[in-house]
Amino acid sequence: MNNKAEDPNLWNDSTEAQKLMRERQNLDEAISGVRALERQLKDNIELIELGEEEGDADVVKEAEDALKGLRAESARRQVEAMLSGEADGNDTYLEVHSGAGGTESQDWANMLLRMYSRWAERQGYKIELLEIHDGEEAGIKSATLLVKGHNAYGWLKTESGVHRLVRISPYDSNARRHTSFSSIWVYPVVDDSIQIDINESDCRIDTYRSSGAGGQHVNTTDSAVRITHMPSGIVVQCQQERSQHKNRAKAWDMLRARLYEAELKKREDAANAEAASKTDIGWGHQIRSYVLQPYQLVKDLRTGVESTAPSDVLDGELNEFMEAALAHRVAGGADAVVDDLA
């Protein structure tokens, strides 16, 4: 690939050139990561040997702790190496929708939005808030994030589903325990190598005034755009830009991504011989429970992974859950999607 990148004729086809450069960069990062692990492993083994010879227990312990960190990093990279699905390397959209529970679920949706934003920041990903609908009293009814970075979709795709929260409600004067539901929907950004054909006559386009906190940044024109794809029932909306034209272009990109994700899901379901689809946001459909009272526990109902530190999880510590879900998904053959999809 280095030789190809030096070919003066490479940029005669800019699309192929960009594809090559992206793949080259991804491989370079993967190789560099493995070599860094090998180097640190060797250095810490030598430190342990030196510490034992010198009788320095502190040096030995420090090196052993470093090895534990390397083991965790190695496990993460092993799972990441499984991200070989059609769109795993792409950027991704992440939608949050509040479910049953009124203000409670809207506040919970806002907590989830913050949780995934914090996780993305920890991974070094860039995020853009494309649209947000505030709740009547608190929280949000819905929001859409654009998460940019290598393997963003691959990591986040297992987060689609219903998330359940149990806590003492801050909005209940009687301090009763409440159960709230919100859903997450993840779908990949469609890049230039994927062709999605949409018949515009199958779509309804609506414009409306953007919602927000107000102040000097509030939109005073109907610049927000909502597109409804009639055959599938898919609805996308964007209000990020002040320009209706820009919001419309982003909304079309989101619709193409949703239709592509729907096709990916259909083929994945065929490979797994199971019919998975968007379900009601309520009991019986949750993938993960977050219990804050009467005890503290986050449990993934698909893999059994648990954490007794929900505050850390809600602050973006999600890798353990994602790694287990990805390993479970790959082990089940869920990524056996037809390669010629695009």
Residue-wise pLDDT tens digits, 20-29 = 887 888 788 8
Residue 58 confidence (pLDDT) above 90? yes
Stated length of the chain: 342
Residues 10 and 1: their CA atoms lie apart, in Å, by 11
d(CA 296, CA 99): 22
Q: Which of 166-170, 219-223, 292-296, 331-335 is least confident? A: 331-335
| DSSP SS3 for 143 | strand
Q: What is the pLDDT of residue 33?
A: 87
Residues 269-324: pLDDT tens digits? 655 543 344 445 655 568 999 999 889 999 999 999 999 999 999 999 999 999 89
Please compute the mean of the pLDDT values over residues 242-258 and round it to a whole number: 88
Is the CATH code 3.30.70.1660 the one for domain 92-331? yes
* Residue bearing tokens 């769109």: 87
Q: What angle do CA 200, 337, 19 make, to 5 degrees?
A: 70
- Please tell me what DSSP assigns to residue 127: E
**What beta strand segments (E) does the chain contain?**
92-98, 126-134, 140-148, 161-168, 177-188, 203-208, 224-229, 234-238, 286-291, 297-300, 306-307
Calpha distance 89→155 (Å, rounded): 9
147 — pLDDT class (breaks 50, 70, 90): very high
Q: List C-alpha distances in Å: 94 to 155, 184, 218, 306.
A: 12, 7, 23, 23
Does residue 238 register a pLDDT over 80? yes
The sign of the torsion formed by the CA atoms of 69, 75, 77, 80 equals negative
What are φ and ψ of residue 41, in 5° steps?
Answer: -60, -50
Confidence of residue 211 (pLDDT cuts 50, 70, 90): low
What is the distance between the alpha carbons of residues 289 and 286, in angstroms, rounded to a whole number? 7
Give the helix/strand (H/E) hosting 222.
none
pLDDT of 331 higher than 70? no
pLDDT for res 283: 53
d(CA 127, CA 121): 8
Across the range 153-157, mean pLDDT stands at 93
Residue type, 195: Q
- For 211, the enclosing helix (H) or strand (E) is none
The stretch 131-146 carries a mean pLDDT of 91
pLDDT bucket at 335, cuts 50 / 70 / 90: very low
Please name the residue that has the structure tokens 């090998």. Answer: 38
Prediction pTM value: 0.70
| Per-residue pLDDT, 342 | 32
